[in-house]
A and B are shown apart, each in its own frame.
Chain A
Amino acid sequence: MAQAISLRISQLVKPQACLEDIFLDILVRVFALIPVGTLSFVLFMIIQKGADTITWQFLTQSPLDGMTHGGIFPCIFGTLAITLLMVLMALPLGVAAAIYLVEFAGPGLFFRVTRAAVNNLAGVPSIVFGLFGVGFFILFIGRNLDKMIQTGLLFGQPCMLWAAATLAVLVLPVIIVSTEEALNAIPQSQRSASLALGATKWQAIWSVVLPQARGGILTGAILSISRGAGETAPILFTGCAYFLPRLPVAKLWGVVPMINPFDQFMELSYHIFIMATQSLDAVKTLPIQYGTTLVLIALTFLLNLTAVLFRIHFRKQMGMVGVQ
């Protein structure tokens, strides 16, 4: 009897590792290494081949000599401008939708339909968004706006406004889902505290819920930038140009320079695409392609970093609760 017990204990203390366990252990480790390896390889390749191209001129000049020389400044400008416009459009819409879903919607049919729509929107291929942009924004909204307010051909053509709007629809699910998560993470007791002090529902959302969800909302913005800044297909037909001699900038009141949303624009990912496929001499432009890719990746990374720093800042400000 005593022997049997001690045997059992020894089995507990020292489980015997069988060959199968060891094999599986190694297997999952290898699988885990695949993403790390892929990322390292891509980064290494691009940095190695693109680093030499990056000079001050490359970053600040326009393309020259049929795009075989010169820089990519218009593309950098275009990418930043369209990302900014995209976030400006998508963030309020996405946050509003998330507030509706979390704070107002009952568990009815409409709620389930909206939920399903958001989830399915995230799965639509980006080229479909591009075609949607042409059909809905440019041809339907744009042309009809032009007819209605007699602006000739201002809205009814591909331009930065519609490209940004198309990207905004593309990233909307990202913002909605992350904002929803942030709102759901806020304890109900915080809402109760506010309501019990005589706040209306809107006051409670505005003064207690949204401030605590800032971190999550910013995460949504970060993810949407990552998703949107590198997309090519949605802007393919909606506003980006092969080459533009000047920046899409207009002077407000003739003085203040601002992004002109009615102009077309050049964009980094599209630039890479045309350099690789439409260029007269693709081999000659290879260094420019690598350089542009490096800039695109660095830019996305930089935008993300800024947003992450913002988030950390908010977290500190919030104290200890309500952050994820």
Chain B
Amino acid sequence: MITLDEEEYEKLGEEFQMESKTFTGGVSLRKETGDFRSKTTKIFVHDLDMFYGEVRALHGINIEIKERTVTALIGPSGCGKSTFLRALNRMNDTIPGTRVEGTVMIDYVNIYGQDVNVASLRRMVGMVFQKSNPFPKSIFDNVAYGPRLRGIHDDALLADIVEESLKKAALWDEVKDRLPTAAMQLSGGQQQRLCIARVLAVNPDIILMDEPASALDPLSTAKIEELIHEIKKNYTIVIVTHNMQQAARVSDHTAYFYMGSLVEYGETKTLFTNPTKKETEDYITGRFG
């Protein structure tokens, strides 16, 4: 996906492994159990600082995210969790005046490296936004948008991709008879699942979700959560949520952010039942935030 020649790749890989070994940043996975230990690292973030102009939005974030898991990012508004999420597919680049320091490695490649093609990176790291944002095109054209960008124009192939993506997003049965109609006519929940299908059609490895269900009714939220549960078999998912129950329901790992720092990161079960830090406990029990 990301163009690096073999030598560079190896070098980065070695560096990464070394850093992994020496990586004690205080916030690594505690007491990993079961099959998580066997899973490889998908995202590795080391000492990530992020600035909006003079304002420092992230303070030395260290985190390691395993492949095919769901990681929830929680914390009060303005704590930097969305900023962190957007750092993973370089969407922060689109905001003028942002500056990044530190390392974000995905599949052993520093995504802030000079050779990185941002468009390719974003195909590999898809994103679902808080407010569903389908294009004012037909349902079909929405899902086919990404593949068409990559130069796929074969009608039969596009139809296959669209069908498969909509099926994965659990939307196929509801829309299969009206693919040429405007996507804007779908309900809010359907629109959000359409946006997920649109991301899946690009065939990413990682899917970032920025409060994907915060604007939806409970039924639609349940469907999205079910969907997350389904697709995590094949994708690494990082989800920002304000809803503590949601974090507990859908995620394997949870990271608690506060004031631009990563306070605590661990298995969801442990973090919610037995947090090590006082701040985390205050937040998840609702005494704060």
User: Which positions in A face B, CB cutoff 8 Å?
Assistant: 106, 187, 189-200, 203, 207-208, 212, 318-322
Contacts and interface: CB of A to CB of B under 8 A. Distances in A.
A319 B184 contact: yes
Interface string B174-185: 000000001111
A187 B129 CA distance: 13
Nearest to A323: B136
Contacts of A199: 119, 149
| Among A196, A203, A207, residue most surrounded by chain B Cβ atoms (within 10 Å) | A196
A203 B119 CA distance: 10
Interface in B175-222: 182-185, 195, 198-199, 202
Contacts of B185: 319
Most buried by A among B123, B131, B135: B135
16 contacts: A189-B129, A189-B131, A190-B133, A192-B91, A194-B135, A196-B122, A196-B129, A197-B123, A197-B149, A197-B202, A198-B149, A199-B149, A203-B149, A212-B136, A319-B183, A320-B182
Pairs of residues from A and B, 4 with the lowest C-beta to C-beta distance, nearest first: A198-B123, A319-B182, A196-B127, A189-B133
Nearest to B181: A319
A318 B149 CA distance: 20
B94 A192 contact: yes
B286 interface: no
B96 interface: yes
Contact of A197 (B94, B122, B131, B184): B122
Contacts of B195: 193
A189 B182 CA distance: 18
A203 B149 CA distance: 8
Interface bin, chain B: 20 to 34
Contacts, number: 69
Contacts of A195: 91, 94, 122
Interface string B145-156: 110111000000
B202 A192 contact: no
Contacts of A192: 91, 94, 129, 133
Nearest to A212: B136
Contacts of A212: 136
Contact of B126 (A196, A207, A318): A196
Contact of B202 (A198, A207, A319): A198
A317 B122 CA distance: 29
Interface string B107-124: 000000000000110110
Nearest to B141: A207
A225 B215 CA distance: 44
B62 interface: no
Interface string B77-101: 0000000000001010010100000
B150 A198 contact: yes
Contacts of A319: 136-137, 182-185
Contacts of A318: 136
Contacts of A187: 133
Given A193-B129, A198-B123, 11 more contacts: A189-B131, A189-B133, A193-B133, A193-B134, A193-B135, A196-B89, A197-B122, A198-B146, A207-B148, A320-B136, A322-B136
Contacts of A207: 145, 148-149
B150 to A, nearest CB: 7
A198 B129 contact: no
Nearest to A197: B146
Contacts of B122: 195-198
B212 to A, nearest CB: 13
Contacts of A191: 94
A198 B152 CA distance: 14
Contacts of A197: 122-123, 126, 145-146, 149, 198-199, 202
Contacts of B91: 192, 195-196
A187 B150 CA distance: 24
Contacts of A196: 89, 91, 122, 126-127, 129, 199
A193 B149 CA distance: 13
Contacts of A321: 136, 184
B61 to A, nearest CB: 21
A297 to B, nearest CB: 36
Given A190-B135, A208-B135, A198 B94 contact: no
Nearest to B125: A196
A103 to B, nearest CB: 11
Contacts of A200: 119
B105 to A, nearest CB: 20
Contacts of A194: 135, 145
Contacts of A198: 119-120, 122-123, 146, 149-150, 202
A259 B130 CA distance: 53
Contacts of A193: 129, 133-135, 195, 198
A188 to B, nearest CB: 9
Nearest to A204: B149
B179 to A, nearest CB: 14
Residue of A189, A191, A198, A321 ringed by the most chain B CB atoms within 10 A: A198
A199 B150 CA distance: 9
